[in-house]
């Protein structure tokens, strides 16, 4: 099984809460916000999400590490942007299987 890690942007707490709640309703990807935006926090969240959803822990860890390394420049830009945003704003990440992301897209189209 493959997992997809996406960095969705910078969001205020209310939008992040709405995203997390709507994700649970459609069994879509797991979402979380990060500030500061650091690999340790991202990896810890991903492992917790994997345990809750019975995902392959080793594959999740590899997906997060590979995604972080592949997007190093973009991540640096997110980190810089976060410094300019209000203190309660977060960088939002989503993680899920291909089917999780398909469900999310289908739910958005129905809305």
Residue 16, pLDDT above cutoff 80: yes
* Confidence (pTM): 0.90
Mean pLDDT value across the chain: 92
Measure CA 40 to chain center: 14
pLDDT tens column, 41-91 = 999 999 999 999 999 999 999 999 999 999 999 999 999 999 999 999 999
As a whole number of angstroms, the distance between CA 103 and CA 105 comes to: 5
Mean pLDDT (whole number) for 26-40: 91
Listed in sequence order, the residues at least 6 apart from 7 whose beta carbon sits closer than 8 Å to its beta carbon are: 71, 74, 75, 78, 91, 92, 93
Where in the chain are the domains?
Answer: 3-110
Residue 23, pLDDT above cutoff 90: no
The predicted structure's pLDDT at residue 111: 65
Of 47, 55, 45, 44, nearest to 20 (Cα)?
45
The predicted structure's pLDDT at residue 55: 95
């Amino acid at each position: 099984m493959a997992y997809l890690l996406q960095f969705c942007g910078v969001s205020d707490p209310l939008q992040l809460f709405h995203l997390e709640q709507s994700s649970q309703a459609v069994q879509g990807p797991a979402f979380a916000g990060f500030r500061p935006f650091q690999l340790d926090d991202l990896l810890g969240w991903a492992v917790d999400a994997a345990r809750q959803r019975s995902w392959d822990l080793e594959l999740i860890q590899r997906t997060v590490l590979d995604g972080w390394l592949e997007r190093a420049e973009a991540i640096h830009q997110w980190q810089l942007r976060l410094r300019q945003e209000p203190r309660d704003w977060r960088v939002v990440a989503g993680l899920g299987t291909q089917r999780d992301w398909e469900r999310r897209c289908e739910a958005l189209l129905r809305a």
